Chains A and B, each alone.
Chain A
Amino acid sequence: MTLLSIENLTLAIQGTPILHSISLNIAAGEITALTGESGSGKSMTAFATMGLLPKGTATSGTIAFDDANLLALPEPQMCDLRGREIGMVFQEPMTALNPVQTIGAQVMETILVHKAMTPEQAETRARDVLDRVGLPPDRFPLSRYPHELSGGQRQRVVIAMAIALRLRLLIADEPTTALDVTTQAQILNLLKRLVKEDDMALMMITHDLAVVSDMADTLNVMRHGEIVESGPTAQVLRDMRHPYTRQLFEASRHQAELGSAKADAPLLSVQNVSRDYPLPRATLFGTRPMFRAVKDVSFEIRRGERVGLVGESGCGKSTLTRAILGLEPVQSGQITLDGDPVWQDGHPNLNVRRKMQVVFQDPYGSFNPRHRVARLITEPFHLLTDPPKGGERDTAVSEALTAVGLKPEDANRHIHAFSGGQRQRIAIARALIIKPDLIVFDEAVSALDVRVRAQILDLMADLSRAYGLTYLFISHDLSVVRSITDRVMVMRAGEIVEDRPTADIFAAPNHIYTRELMTAAPQLPDFPEAQDAPQPAL
């Protein structure tokens, strides 16, 4: 039976149209997914249902919930529905909880604000519901604070808060996007279980087709504020009647054309490297205990090779990356590039620094917004003893921009004028401009939409083939690593547990942890029509 029925929902914020006549139905006990790229209107559909739209939003159409039109309901009645009948879980668990209140107080608040129980009953219920989401009271008492929990545990608290009173509709907005694959799998299982046990309806918003295919009963593909295709998930993924659905699907399993790796002489060599961090003192005047983030790691990368480094958050991959880039000293072992140490006599070795560059995840945050592109991408020139000047410099800028698929004229624009994908191209141009040997990509495509991501991966592959570049590609996303590397290293708790050619590792993972990672990663189904992709996706 239909629980929520959205009819012709049109929405504009400050006059800018966001949604165009959206219609969809959700029944109790059913998982309905909204998928599409950023800006497609997925989240706004959710906020409209919650009645939490930003100021200056104009809406038309109806959102019927139990015969009540949520769009027309006065605010006090919406407050009464929120948390009691309709709840919501958000993307960023690290910031979704109030840092100065205990988790118990926050779960109980959902119950108490609706005056559903006495405070004593609410406390018992809070304990029960935390237990239900996998936080048993003996290990996670109500008196815990959010900062004492991991991201996955916090997301469980957020879910507990949402379902503390028996909800009839839960909206989950990218609930696992910020989490590691194994944690993601657990949270997705939890959501599925809750839907089944409570006969609750779930509106699941995600950009990840693999998550959707595994989970949703009904699939709605959104683009530019419209639903372009909808129906039972299996059927939509099998038929893919709308070209956009097919594009999304193919981009998700995109395999970049790498060409064969040249792999001659060793370029980067990491020998028995360990990296310690001091922890807080256990006693007031005691010595500070050390945490070993990287444990005796050794590997080599040959010139022209494209190597992936995967692992979950906290496994030490970022620490290792900083050490390779010569940003921090190591406690033991040595890192050399082309035979020269990256860190020498207590400071980074500039001769080595100019041979490697890095591209970070957030293309906007890594640029000074007040500088023009020409200045931004020539930043690495300060590493050179004799940087190009005048016309030579302009030529270098034009060449770099052309190489990443932008126009030389773009040199005079500011960074805010570019889209996310273009910004990442600029970041790559900045890395290319001093013709480095090694480029480190640190989660460089994680923030991009699938289609843009596919294009950037293609660009990386083209550049590697054209210039014989060596890549170290750091990511938590197995499917991305698979599409752009020759060899993969799997890191866990400061150690590299598996280091083999990409094709081998994905065909038959040796280490149990690698297997765990692969099982946890949601997979796209293999429909016969879609097999024109170069390799079956993960």
Chain B
Amino acid sequence: MLRYIVKRLISLAISLIVASVVIFVVVEIAPGDPASFMLGINAQPDTIAALRTELGLDQSKLDRYLSWVGGMLIGDFGTSYTYRTPVAQMIADRMWVSLPLAIYALTLSTVIAFPAGIFAAARRGGPGDLAVTGATQLGVAIPNFWFAMMLVLIFALQLRWFSAGGFPGWDKGFWGGMKALTLPAIALALPQAAILTRVMRSSLLDILGEDFMRTARAKGLSARQALWRHGLRNALIPVLTIIGLQFAFLLAGAIIIEQVFFLPGLGRLIFQAITQRDLIVVESVVMLLVFAVIMVNFLVDLAYAAVDPRLRTRT
């Protein structure tokens, strides 16, 4: 088991290094000079040169890469070209919106998908199964911003249960923040829940056809007991994979939902940074997201091993 973890950690470190190089190179070759962008089209060449020196843009590529990576390791993400504030602080502010939103949405999607998937699998081909499968097809097909607009129309404008957008901040109280995130979380969660339900259902159906499910029935377990005791854990592996992918997507991919609900999240930050050539912010946010995805995958790997004993002994 220890070996399994160490191996995963090594591959995690390698992925991070490769990702940092790729991000740096890609952002470097993107057209547009941040210094001239910041000073406008009428700036004097020597002013631009001075700013380039100040920003460190005149150093060699390798030096800039190393100081960028070295800074990140001690929590220094540099200073935003546009806002002249520490990038770490900007990201941290946005993270307090994006991370709770992602966790909230993922929790909702899991809470919806598990019972729905199990319900449908246990009633394969019956009316309950058809209803669930039909609903998931709708959920996958309809884009989440449409859900978002419908939620705003119904719950904010008609019923006035929630505000239509904006985020009051956590210092005004936990529940106030949660309330502001509820509609966005639901809008994000519904399509994800639809996908996860389908994965859960088909994964369970595969398992229900396995020989050991028949063995369980031969021992005297009822169909329901066999499903819960032997089916569920075996069906979890593909489901965990999807949950890991969804978390990464929810963290960074919420940009449209953030726009609909006027949330100051990571998605909006990176979108603004790209339009303003704020390269240092782009690099740092993307790197952070890569880090989050790789960490989540690492946790999913650990979860696999917890679920499946065969992985603990295999290399």
Binding stretch for chain A, among B82-90, B177-185, B220-228: B220-228
Asked if A79 and B220 make an inter-chain contact with CB atoms under 8 angstroms apart, the answer reads yes
Instruction: Choose among B216, B220, B308 the residue that contacts A84 (Cβ–Cβ < 8 A).
Output: B220
Is the CB of B172 closer than 8 A to any CB of chain A? no
Asked if B218 and A162 make an inter-chain contact with CB atoms under 8 angstroms apart, the answer reads yes
Is the CB of A231 closer than 8 A to any CB of chain B? no
User: Complex Cα distance A79/B216, Å?
Assistant: 11
Binding stretch for chain B, among A86-94, A196-204, A467-475: A86-94
Is the CB of B309 closer than 8 A to any CB of chain A? yes
Contact A52-B214, Cβ < 8 Å, known A99-B308, A100-B309, A280-B315: yes
User: Complex Cα distance A161/B225, Å?
Assistant: 17
Asked if A87 and B218 make an inter-chain contact with CB atoms under 8 angstroms apart, the answer reads yes
Instruction: Choose among A95, A98, A102, A284 the residue that contacts B216 (Cβ–Cβ < 8 A).
Output: A98
User: Complex Cα distance A284/B8, Å?
Assistant: 12
Binding stretch for chain B, among A107-115, A180-188, A384-392: A107-115
User: Complex Cα distance A303/B141, Å?
Assistant: 64
Is the CB of A500 closer than 8 A to any CB of chain B? no
Question: From B315, which residue of chain A is reached at the shortest CB distance?
Answer: A280
Q: Which residues of A contact B230 (CB under 8 A)?
A: 98, 101
User: Complex Cα distance A90/B217, Å?
Assistant: 12
Contact A113-B315, Cβ < 8 Å, known A52-B214, A97-B215, A98-B230: no
Is the CB of A83 closer than 8 A to any CB of chain B? yes
User: Complex Cα distance A102/B308, Å?
Assistant: 11
User: Complex Cα distance A109/B226, Å?
Assistant: 11
Asked if A83 and B220 make an inter-chain contact with CB atoms under 8 angstroms apart, the answer reads yes
Is the CB of A148 closer than 8 A to any CB of chain B? yes
User: Complex Cα distance A333/B138, Å?
Assistant: 62
The smallest beta-carbon distance between A492 and chain B, in angstroms, is 27
Q: Which residues of A contact B220 (CB under 8 A)?
A: 79-84, 110, 113-114
The smallest beta-carbon distance between A285 and chain B, in angstroms, is 10
Chain A residues numbered 44-72 whose CB sits less than 8 Å from any CB in chain B:
50, 52
Instruction: Choose among B7, B222, B234, B314 the residue that contacts A99 (Cβ–Cβ < 8 A).
Output: B234
User: Complex Cα distance A95/B213, Å?
Assistant: 10
The smallest beta-carbon distance between A14 and chain B, in angstroms, is 13
Asked if A281 and B315 make an inter-chain contact with CB atoms under 8 angstroms apart, the answer reads yes
Instruction: Choose among B212, B225, B310 the residue that contacts A145 (Cβ–Cβ < 8 A).
Output: B310
Q: Which residues of B contact A161 (CB under 8 A)?
A: 215, 219
The smallest beta-carbon distance between A17 and chain B, in angstroms, is 23
Chain A: how many interface residues by the 8 Å CB criterion?
35
Asked if A145 and B218 make an inter-chain contact with CB atoms under 8 angstroms apart, the answer reads no
Asked if B315 and A90 make an inter-chain contact with CB atoms under 8 angstroms apart, the answer reads no
Chain A residues numbered 273-303 whose CB sits less than 8 Å from any CB in chain B:
280-281, 284
User: Complex Cα distance A225/B215, Å?
Assistant: 24
Chain B residues numbered 285-315 whose CB sits less than 8 Å from any CB in chain A:
307-310, 313-315
The smallest beta-carbon distance between B1 and chain A, in angstroms, is 13
Asked if A148 and B313 make an inter-chain contact with CB atoms under 8 angstroms apart, the answer reads yes
Between A and B, how many residue pairs show CB distances below 8 Å?
A: 83
The smallest beta-carbon distance between A321 and chain B, in angstroms, is 26
Interface string of B36-68 (1 = CB under 8 A from A): 000000000000000000000000000000000
Contact A52-B215, Cβ < 8 Å, known A98-B234, A113-B225, A280-B314: no
Chain A residues numbered 119-169 whose CB sits less than 8 Å from any CB in chain B:
145, 147-148, 158, 161-162
Is the CB of A350 closer than 8 A to any CB of chain B? no
Instruction: Choose among B6, B211, B225, B234 the residue that contacts A96 (Cβ–Cβ < 8 A).
Output: B211
Is the CB of B229 closer than 8 A to any CB of chain A? yes
User: Complex Cα distance A95/B210, Å?
Assistant: 7
Is the CB of B160 closer than 8 A to any CB of chain A? no
Asked if B3 and A284 make an inter-chain contact with CB atoms under 8 angstroms apart, the answer reads yes
Question: From A161, which residue of chain B is reached at the shortest CB distance?
Answer: B219
Q: Which residues of B contact A96 (CB under 8 A)?
A: 211-212, 214-215
Contact A145-B211, Cβ < 8 Å, known A79-B220, A98-B216, A113-B225: no
Q: Which of B214, B219, B310, B313 has the most CB of A within 10 A?
A: B219
Question: From A114, which residue of chain B is reached at the shortest CB distance?
Answer: B220
Question: From B124, which residue of chain A is reached at the shortest CB distance?
Answer: A55
The smallest beta-carbon distance between A178 and chain B, in angstroms, is 11
Is the CB of A516 closer than 8 A to any CB of chain B? no
Contact A284-B218, Cβ < 8 Å, known A98-B234, A100-B308, A147-B310: no
Question: From A78, which residue of chain B is reached at the shortest CB distance?
Answer: B220
Asked if B218 and A52 make an inter-chain contact with CB atoms under 8 angstroms apart, the answer reads yes
The smallest beta-carbon distance between A242 and chain B, in angstroms, is 32
Asked if A97 and B212 make an inter-chain contact with CB atoms under 8 angstroms apart, the answer reads yes
Q: Which of A102, A109, A114 has the most CB of B within 10 A?
A: A109
Contact A82-B234, Cβ < 8 Å, known A98-B212, A99-B212, A99-B310: no
Q: Which residues of B contact A504 (CB under 8 A)?
A: none
Asked if B234 and A83 make an inter-chain contact with CB atoms under 8 angstroms apart, the answer reads no
Chain A residues numbered 22-55 whose CB sits less than 8 Å from any CB in chain B:
50, 52
Q: Which residues of A contact B214 (CB under 8 A)?
A: 52, 90, 96
Q: Which residues of B contact A280 (CB under 8 A)?
A: 314-315
Question: From B207, which residue of chain A is reached at the shortest CB distance?
Answer: A98
Chain B residues numbered 71-90 whose CB sits less than 8 Å from any CB in chain A:
none
Q: Which residues of A contact B314 (CB under 8 A)?
A: 280
Question: From B211, which residue of chain A is reached at the shortest CB distance?
Answer: A95
Asked if A79 and B211 make an inter-chain contact with CB atoms under 8 angstroms apart, the answer reads no
Question: From B217, which residue of chain A is reached at the shortest CB distance?
Answer: A52
Q: Which residues of A contact B315 (CB under 8 A)?
A: 280-281
The smallest beta-carbon distance between A177 and chain B, in angstroms, is 14
Instruction: Choose among B6, B219, B308 the residue that contacts A110 (Cβ–Cβ < 8 A).
Output: B219
Interface pairs A-B: 6 shortest CB-CB: A83-B220, A83-B219, A95-B211, A88-B218, A82-B220, A280-B315
Chain B residues proximal to chain A, CB less than 8 Å: 3, 6-7, 210-212, 214-222, 225, 229-230, 233-234, 307-310, 313-315
Chain A residues proximal to chain B, CB less than 8 Å: 50, 52, 75-76, 79-84, 87-88, 90, 92, 95-102, 109-110, 113-114, 145, 147-148, 158, 161-162, 280-281, 284
Q: A96-B211, A109-B221 are in contact. List 19 more A-B contacts (CB 8 A).
A: A50-B218, A52-B214, A80-B220, A81-B220, A82-B217, A87-B219, A90-B211, A97-B212, A97-B215, A98-B216, A98-B230, A99-B308, A109-B216, A109-B219, A113-B220, A114-B220, A161-B215, A162-B218, A281-B315
17 contacts between A and B (CB under 8 A): A75-B222, A76-B222, A82-B219, A83-B218, A83-B220, A83-B221, A87-B219, A97-B215, A99-B212, A99-B234, A100-B307, A100-B308, A145-B309, A147-B310, A147-B313, A162-B218, A284-B3
